[in-house]
Amino acid sequence: MAACATATRGLQQLLVLSALGFLATSAPQPPNIVLLLMDDMGWGDLGVYGEPSRETPNLDKMALEGMLFPNFYSANPLCSPSRAALLTGRLPIRNGFYTSNGHARNAYTPQEIMGGIPNSEHLLPELLKKAGYTNKIVGKWHLGHRPQFHPLKHGFDEWFGSPNCHFGPYDNKVKPNIPVYRDWEMVGRFYEEFPINLRTGEANLTQLYLQEALDFIKTQHARQSPFFLYWAIDATHAPVYASRPFLGTSHRGRYGDAVREIDDSVGKILSLLQNLGISKNTFVFFTSDNGAALISAPKEGGSNGPFLCGKQTTFEGGMREPAIAWWPGHIAAGQVSHQLGSIMDLFTTSLSVAGLKPPSDRIIDGLDLLPTLLQGHMMDRPIFYYRGNTLMAVTLGQYKAHFWTWTNSWEEFRQGTPGDPDSGTHFDWKGIDFCPGQNVSGVTTHTQEEHTELPLIFHLGRDPGERFPLSFASAEYQDTLSRITQVVQQHQKSLIPGQPQLNVCNQAVMNWAPPGCEKLGKCLTPPESVPEKCSWAH
């Protein structure tokens, strides 16, 4: 791995200098960067990935004009850790966006969680400031809601959006509705000043987020300032919503309405870049934070195509994402790259686009994809699938090894809760099922099954649905196990977990707490005095 990185560093630097024109006597303005991050959008939600309704003409055109990644992954099957990984270039286990409350437990940042992105982490917008960028986030932050975690304290110059998703509505007595901010000022709350009609699905939020993006691009272009736009909208997160002109227009129902409005918005953003004459100086990347939430499907969730399960799992449906890169004049049109990509690569690649190097005082998990984007080069790299504090699986090449399998507990599956526990809304009472209609014996287990001695190994090319594990006795299995074992050992040898930021002692939030923690009724932060068994070290 290290040797590969060293061997390609010179090539990467030359590609960057050449592509950006830095070899000229007078250095031009560095390229603008636009990252379009969707929420719970699945691999199979775009026409270009085979969605049969073909209702995403603008995103399909974006792929036709750029590069499509069929093998692009999140760093976690849940929203907060995934976003922390994108903006730091580091696995959540390193940047602290995980919980140690239990083995392989998912966690995020609801109002009850007091943790957030640590000051010790270097976020992408902070680093881009060194190259003169003006940075804006539009939409969902999800890296902590306390004042010290505010995005404007972590490199962003502007913000219009919310610290959380559009959960609710709440009664504003025990729990208030989620606030919406413009920079430092709270300008309203979801379901109040920013209405969402749960019955009809009507909300104007995507249009507001679109206008924020368009206005920001126009302003920075007039200022001749390089900009970073992080457009992190949440219309495809349950409860899904769309504005009135899009409601009822999709063959896929309300979720499809939301996707159609997103597609239209992306088309308008790209058209503006072209009309302003800055498309050739703007790197754009489209992806999602995790797989589609099948627990909310089919009315409120998307499609993960041929892949197994969905959000909250480390099967392919939970972590393989749609991904499109677009940079006219630099990325040749109509390409498909089978490079294994990660959402963490957007950190390192964006820095490379800006002519910057990643921090050298820590391990950065994201790769610089410019050699792939500009010259079609392929790089060997593993994909690590973490769920909370546990390495669940690893992909190397076309082989994926599961060291642990688990969907969710039998208790959750049988008893059920109202809808998606990450949605904050109340749907029909049903059991929690992360893999509806996809039971694979011995694989989609409701108990945590350990396979560290003999991992379940799948060839994802022949078996993308993870249904037919290789025979333990086969030479193919033995050879793959040997190669993956070396990669895992190297990874674990260098791993220093960050202090967990997402611990909780509240059964109402995470449906689990260590014995004795229930009565605390609040989230734990490092300075608090708590029972030892509830502490951050356990």
**Interaxial angle between packed helices 345-353 and 2-20, expressed in degrees from 0 to 180 and rounded to the nearest 10:** 40
Respond yes or no: is residue 251 known to be catalytic: no
Render pLDDT for 317-362 as a digit per residue (tens, 0 to 9): 999 999 999 999 999 999 999 999 999 999 999 999 999 999 999 9
What is the C-alpha to C-alpha distance for residues 408 and 411, in angstroms, rounded to an integer?
8
What is the C-alpha to C-alpha distance for residues 316 and 320, in angstroms, rounded to an integer?
5
Burial category of 214 from C-beta neighbours within 10 Å (exposed 0-12, middle 13-18, buried 19 and up): middle
Residues whose CB is less than 8 angstroms from the CB of residue 421 and which lie 6 or more positions away in sequence, other chains included: 432, 511
What is the C-alpha to C-alpha distance for residues 74 and 291, in angstroms, rounded to an integer?
8
Residues whose CB is less than 8 angstroms from the CB of residue 265 and which lie 6 or more positions away in sequence, other chains included: 206, 207, 209, 210, 213, 233
Determine the distance from the C-alpha atom of residue 344 to the mean position of all C-alpha atoms in its chain, rounded to a whole number. 9
Tell whether omega for the bond before 179 is within 30 degrees of 0, i.e. cis: no
Strand pairing report for 185-189 and 449-450: unpaired
Q: Give the per-residue pLDDT at 416.
A: 55
Rounded to 5°, angle at Cα 371 from 368 and 377: 120
Q: Say if residues 80 and 112 touch (Cβ distance below 8 Å).
A: no
- Residue 175: other Cβ atoms inside 10 A: 15
What is the C-alpha to C-alpha distance for residues 252 and 406, in angstroms, rounded to an integer?
30
b/e per residue, 446-478, with b = 16+ CB within 10 A?
bebeebeeebbbbbbeebbbbeebbeeeeeebe
The torsion angles phi and psi of 273, rounded to 5 degrees, stand at -60, -40
Q: CA distances (Å), 96 to each of 113, 115, 119, 140, 440, in order?
A: 13, 9, 11, 19, 32
Region at 253 (left for phi over 0; alpha for psi -120 to 50; beta for the rest): left
What are the pLDDT tens digits along the chain (538 aa)?
Answer: 444 444 444 445 445 545 554 444 456 789 999 999 999 999 999 999 999 999 999 999 999 999 999 999 999 999 999 999 999 999 999 999 999 988 999 988 887 788 999 999 999 999 999 999 999 999 999 999 999 999 999 999 999 999 999 999 998 788 899 999 999 999 999 999 999 999 999 999 999 999 999 999 999 999 999 999 999 999 999 999 999 999 999 999 999 999 999 999 999 999 999 999 999 999 999 999 999 999 999 999 999 999 999 999 999 999 999 999 999 999 999 999 999 999 999 999 999 999 999 999 999 999 999 999 999 999 999 999 999 999 999 999 999 999 999 998 888 888 754 444 444 444 444 578 999 999 999 999 999 999 999 999 999 999 999 999 999 999 999 999 999 999 999 999 999 999 999 997 544 444 444 443 433 333 443 333 333 333 222 2
Could you say which of 4, 122, 142, 338 is catalytic?
A: 142
Render pLDDT for 170-222 as a digit per residue (tens, 0 to 9): 987 888 999 999 999 999 999 999 999 999 999 999 999 999 999 999 999 99
What is the C-alpha to C-alpha distance for residues 284 and 76, in angstroms, rounded to an integer?
22
Q: Say if residues 243 and 210 touch (Cβ distance below 8 Å).
A: no
